[in-house]
Amino acid sequence: MPISRDYQQYLATELEKRTPSFFEAVCNLVGPKLPIDIPIGKDQEQKMWQQLQFVGYKTTPTDIFRTAIGIAIAGILIGLSLLLAKADSVFTIIALFGGILISYYWTIYLNQAVTFTRIRATPDLLMSVLYMVISLRITPNFENALLFAATNTTGVIGRDLKKIVWDLSMGKYESADDALTAFANKWKNENEEFSEAIDVLKTSTFKAEGERAKLYEEAINIILERNTDRMKKYTQELAGPISIINYLGITLPVMTVILFPIMTLFMPNSIPPYLLVILYNVLLPIVVWWMINYTLMKRPISFGVRTVDTHPDAHKIGTMKIKNKTYKIWPFSIAIALSFISLGLFLIYGLGQKDPITLEKVLGGLSIVWGAAGAVCFYSYFSYKGNDKIRDDMVSTENEFSEALFELGLILNSGYSVESSVEKLVKKIKNLKISLLFERTLDNIRKFGHTFERAIFDKETGTIRYYPSVMITNILRVFSEALKKGSKTTANAMMSVSTYMKNVTRVENFLREMIAETTSEMQLMVSLMIPVSMGVIVGLSALLTLILFNISQFFSVIAKQAIQLPVGDNSILSVLGSIDKVVPIEWLTVIVGSYMIEVTLSIAVLMSTLKSGEDSIEKHKTMANSLFMGTVVFSLVAVFVFLAFKGIVQLGVI
């Protein structure tokens, strides 16, 4: 297949552009420096080489196992050092078992990387087939179809297709048919329907034009129908993991923290207060996050990501636009965090309160929680603000694009020129958002005398700048090229492609509806169940600590009279004498609030990933909205429960 020198250079640049992952970097750094011979079975080594090739990692099975052993040794050495230094046994155990667990995870990471790659590749597999069909519908030539798909497909599939085209140009494959066969075989184990769709496309080259059109549609439907079936099964199986996350994230914390003041009181040496921090803010969030990742790893497909980076009005995640000027967000987030934390510390220590449990101290703890939550909310909110409208307009435009494409095909098929066809199309679809794209294109043709292609793709005046949809860009590019060869064939192709796109959109909307019930349940968790539960924990813990403090003061009075009046066994006095070792209510509020933030953000990521795939805009939007609402509810419930029960205690009812 003849490929220009410029395109070969482009392919070489694209293939070398990938940044090594953290896993690769650590393996390549640690592995070669550990002179350890690892006996790996031939079958396992061959399987790992296949996995490395599949995910595109540049490391070796030996270096992976060497790194895992190095991590385990490091954990053991740190644990022994802590033991010899007579550090707390909790930290020694964490170091020992943490190193072993991380080492084990390192050895199985490749399996998860393969699964994650397959999930992320699902929308790109579909788009690669769609691009091949579009190209074949215009010119039934596999070389052109492969080139078009390789140029326009993104992600890991785009990378693999570019590698296939490169190998084809270097003579590794005799024909595009052989190259596609090799590509399909690579993905056969992970996505069998894709391999079947490629086989159908290859069969179409031997058929007449009418039969080819049916086979093109069949190739797309194979992937759509199989993905729908797998997603149905996945949504039915989601109930179990969601129940476990509910138990780990809500029920278990409620059961443990309520009893923590009592356990600290009766076993002050065995249960130090920092154990609550380790359990609540480190170990439990890690378990919840692992469970969420495990749930996401099992999902059969992911939705395609719409990027808005090329839009003139868009800004990158982590920046915000104010009057056409771009600013970094993190300095503002840090300022918000420091302001709230300073206020919290003032409320806790600056008022000179002797009473250990007061509303001011609870508010001080809540202020520190708001420092962390406010910083995250501010960062996420302004990261997506503005971009979400551009993204939503893009989605709406993509949904309308298939209808506009079909209408344009009908008009062109009637024999009108391109300019006249666009003019008639604008009048016909004037109530749709997509009409603005064609209005701007028509203006460019008339104002600057551009061709249809230049009116859309000109770097300075092209209308596509305001529509950064990869799909719209690629389809318009191939049709603008095809129009140079004749409008009749292109018009028929437009109508066919429009039908394919409508089928893709219909199935994607159906999949989103299937997942909506589950995500609505998660939304209830982060907006109500988790913050209410955590707020009740703070209120009840304050109540319990207040009761214990009052009892302690009561027995202190008795103890002072014990010289004249024998009291008997003083063991209860020694227990209540440990009241000062109970976690102060203000810091318990911070610990519980921090846990609420961690779990809310974890579940928000799960929700957004299920609904929208790896869409960073949707992720930050879900995080900001969920965390803000959750923190407000948590604060109100904590203050209400505290005031209600404190009033009851002061009245002498408890």
Positive/negative CA dihedral, 95, 241, 119, 627? negative
Domain-terminating residue out of 185, 216, 236: 236
DSSP bridge pairs for 321 = 326
Per the domain annotation, does 292 fall within a domain?
Answer: yes
124-133, 199-208, 407-416, 618-627: which is most confident: 618-627
Q: CA-based diameter of the chain, in Å?
A: 115
How far apart CA 344 and CA 624 sit, in angstroms, is: 22
Cα gap 40→58, rounded to integer Å: 18
Q: Give the CA dihedral 30, 33, 38, 43, nearest 10 degrees.
A: 60
- What is the average pLDDT score of the chain? 80
Are 242 and 232 in a shared domain? no
Asked whether the beta carbons of 273 and 583 are under 8 A apart, the reply is yes
Please check whether residues 545 and 622 belong to one and the same domain: yes
Q: Is residue 401 part of a domain?
A: no
Q: Tokens 């079909």 appear where?
A: 406
Proportion of the chain above pLDDT 70, given as a percent: 86
* Contact predicate 296/120, CB 8 Å: no
| Same-domain pairing of 246 and 305 | yes
Q: How much is the pTM?
A: 0.78
Helix axes 89-138, 42-55, angle to 10 degrees: 60
Residue 231: per-residue pLDDT: 76
Other residues' Cβ atoms within 10 Å of the Cβ of residue 424: 17
Tell me the mean pLDDT in the region 66-88. 86
In a domain? residue 108: yes
pLDDT value at 563 more than 50: no
Say if residue 324 is in the same domain as residue 211.
no
> Which of 22-26, 112-116, 554-558, 609-613 holds the top average pLDDT?
22-26
Top-confidence residue, 548 or 95: 95
Same domain, 147 and 284: no
Q: How far apart are the first and last CA of the chain?
A: 87
Residue 450 counted as domain residue:
no
Rounded to an integer, the average pLDDT of 439-465 is 86
> Six-digit token pair at 281?
């803010």
**280 and 131 in one domain?**
no
* Rounded Cα–Cα distance for residues 62 and 168 (Å): 31
In this prediction, residue 378 carries a pLDDT of 95
Residue 490 covered by a domain? no
pLDDT digit string, tens, across residues 242-252: 777 777 777 77
Residue 500 lies in a domain: no
User: What range defines the domain where residue 131 resides?
Assistant: 5-236
Instruction: Say which residue the tokens 């404190």 belong to.
Output: 646
Q: Do 539 and 590 fall into the same domain?
A: yes
- The dihedral built from the CA positions of residue 49, 55, 57 and 61, taken in this order, carries a sign that is negative
What's the average model confidence in pLDDT over 413-427? 84
Instruction: Quote the CA–CA distance of 527 and 451 in Å, as a whole number.
Output: 53
Q: Are residues 228 and 262 in the same domain?
A: no
CA atoms of 457 and 476, how far apart (whole Å): 9
Give percent of the chain above pLDDT 90: 10
- Residue ranges of alpha helices (H) inside 208-251 are 209-237, 239-246
User: For the chain, give me the number of helices (H) and strands (E)?
Assistant: 26, 2
Quote the CA–CA distance of 83 and 60 in Å, as a whole number.
35
- pLDDT for res 565: 43
Average pLDDT over residues 399-420: 84
- Please identify, among 221, 236, 251, the residue that sits at the C-terminal boundary of a domain: 236
Q: Within 13 Å and on the Cβ side, how many CA atoms surround 42? A: 0
Q: What is the DSSP letter of 32?
A: G
- Whether 229 and 288 share a structural domain: no
Helix axes of 192-204 and 209-237: crossing angle, nearest 10 degrees: 170
Decide which of 236, 251, 271 is a domain's last residue. Answer: 236
Given pLDDT bands bounded at 50, 70 and 90, which one contains residue 305? low
β-bridge mates for residue 326, sequence order: 321
For residue 322, give the 3-state DSSP assignment.
strand
Q: Are residues 226 and 247 in the same domain?
A: no
State the pLDDT at residue 18.
62
What is the rounded distance in angstroms from the CA atom of residue 276 to the CA atom of residue 329? Answer: 32
Other Cβ atoms closer than 10 A to 447: 10
Mean pLDDT on 522-549: 82
Based on the fold, state whether residues 290 and 229 are members of the same structural domain: no
Is the model's pLDDT at 564 over the cut of 50?
no
pLDDT at 335: 95
Residue 5: the pLDDT is: 54
- Length of the chain as a residue count: 654
Report the pLDDT value the prediction gives residue 89, as an integer from 0 to 100. 75
Number of domain units in the chain: 2
Residue 470 placed within a domain: no
Looking at the fold, whether 272 and 228 belong to one and the same domain comes out as no
Domain assignment of residue 491, yes or no:
no
Specify burial of residue 157 (Cβ count, 10 A radius: 0-12, 13-18, 19+): buried
